[in-house]
Amino acid sequence: MDFRAYLFFGGDCRDAFTRYQEIFGGELVALSMADAPSDTPVPPEQADLVIHAALTLDGAVLMGSDDPTGGFSGVQGITVTCTVADPGEAQRVFGALADGGAVTQPLIETFFSPSFGMCTDRFGIPWMIVADAPETQ
């Protein structure tokens, strides 16, 4: 069994995934509505919307797309968790994700992690950053 996060955006999916690639590295594939084979013409205002994005890194895949319905009302009921190897990497990733967004829990030491924090990035995606505890490494 395998679970994957699939994030929806209100028109800035390409920008978000470009930023995530800058932060995490990996290989990014982003297909626009205009790239999709279809017998139905794509309205010009939707041609650049992302129909599917996938960022692949070390076997992990983060996926997403823009909402072409125009009814996107923001991300609700989900937080993307990113587990990193150590507190230094937690600081780097957390700082990059929080840049232009909002910190909801600054990085702190907890009973389960030497460095844990929560933020919402500039694209409205909530994140939890967790550094592996030394005994799990």
Is residue 39 scored above 80 in pLDDT?
no
Q: Per-residue pLDDT tens for 69-118?
A: 878 888 889 999 999 999 999 999 999 999 999 999 999 999 999 999 99
Whether the CB-CB separation of 97 and 129 falls below 8 Å is answered with: yes
pLDDT of 25 > 60? The answer is yes
Instruction: State what percent of residues in the chain have pLDDT above 70.
Output: 98
In this prediction, residue 44 carries a pLDDT of 86
Contacts of 92 (CB under 8 A, 6+ apart): none
Decide if 57 contacts 26 (C-beta within 8 A).
Answer: yes
Domains, the chain, in order of start with CATH, read 5-66 (3.10.180.10), 80-136 (3.30.720.110)
CA pair distance 118, 11, nearest whole angstrom:
24
**120 CB-near residues (< 8 Å, 6+ apart):** 101, 102, 104, 126, 127
43/113 Cα distance (integer angstroms): 48
Neighbours of 60 (CB within 10 A): 13
pLDDT category, 136, cuts 50, 70, 90?
Answer: low
Q: What is the radius of gyration, based on Cα positions, of the chain?
A: 16
pLDDT given for residue 102 in this prediction: 98
